[in-house]
Structure 1
């Protein structure tokens, strides 16, 4: 895995910015008002890299059979279904076993309890570990010769470590900008920092 030799792969030369996605919660309106009160407003705290998406001022606590984690940031805008994304390390602390999934794929995912300032909500499903993925505009996908939902490998080379992160999903939309998202466990394993760059390796 750490070798410089990659067999049966077509390596492109373009670089991909990497962003670290910490634990967070996408939320629907019903759950939001139950957790934070009918007069609460999902108000922007800061903009995210994806156009139109933002970190809100609200945070909540997530609770599992073994423990809880405070200050989980709620993201906006509202979603159709509430979804919580954590790392494997978080899952161990909570005592849960969420599947590794793409965002929105929540069928038969793990249960989780959400605790807000105004109420508690137990979700029978909605907890996942997000699969590493790359957001691309249509023009980026054409340049990389990939399409939506392709599976690729990304080579991450740093001063301390080099690794190949496999089973990375390509997501293509006219609304996206080029950026790879990894969770905190993946970032720590690769010693990724802000401004880290990956190189896409397309499966033949």
Structure 2
């Protein structure tokens, strides 16, 4: 994948280079379709475990992914409900940092809104690790730590490390998955975001975003 990224930086007009900037490129995912894309950094970052992602020098890759994937974006995800995600070291197949831009099921969105109404989702990063919720995806029921944010202006990698990983009560950063589900009400995105995290130290936890994101037809 790193070779693909470098090739897009040098030859941005090639077909697989869907959008190219100085900070990131967007590539087709597998399987290739209209709701499965990958946003990858143009600098050499292996993945979620890299400390550089938490630094002020890192680009805001989550916001970049949303700006591309949202309706009217440069690489719009053609799904009724959009999800973004990054896998742990063990769950990924490619060792170049990439965020999946894909769909989520309508039921996933509904469950998250129901959990928000029942005040089961943290509204402060300080409470993130204590708000554990059970969500059924198309691969079964899993436990996630759930946080609501009103924008993607913050560095989600840094928040995860500071408020979930560093208090020594969970697996290290390399074993985490992180998922962002933009909130959608009455056919429109509200500007709020459900931020989900999990790892295998949780009961029914998972280290992959593939439990919720929909890549195929």
Instruction: Specify if TM > 0.5.
Output: no
Q: TM class, shorter-chain normalised?
A: under 0.3
Between Structure 1 and Structure 2, the one with more helix by share is: 2
Which of structures 1 and 2 has the bigger CA Rg? 1
Greater share of strand residues, 1 or 2? Answer: 1
TM-score, normalization by structure 1? 0.26
Question: Under a length normalisation based on structure 2, what TM-score does the superposition of the two structures give?
Answer: 0.25
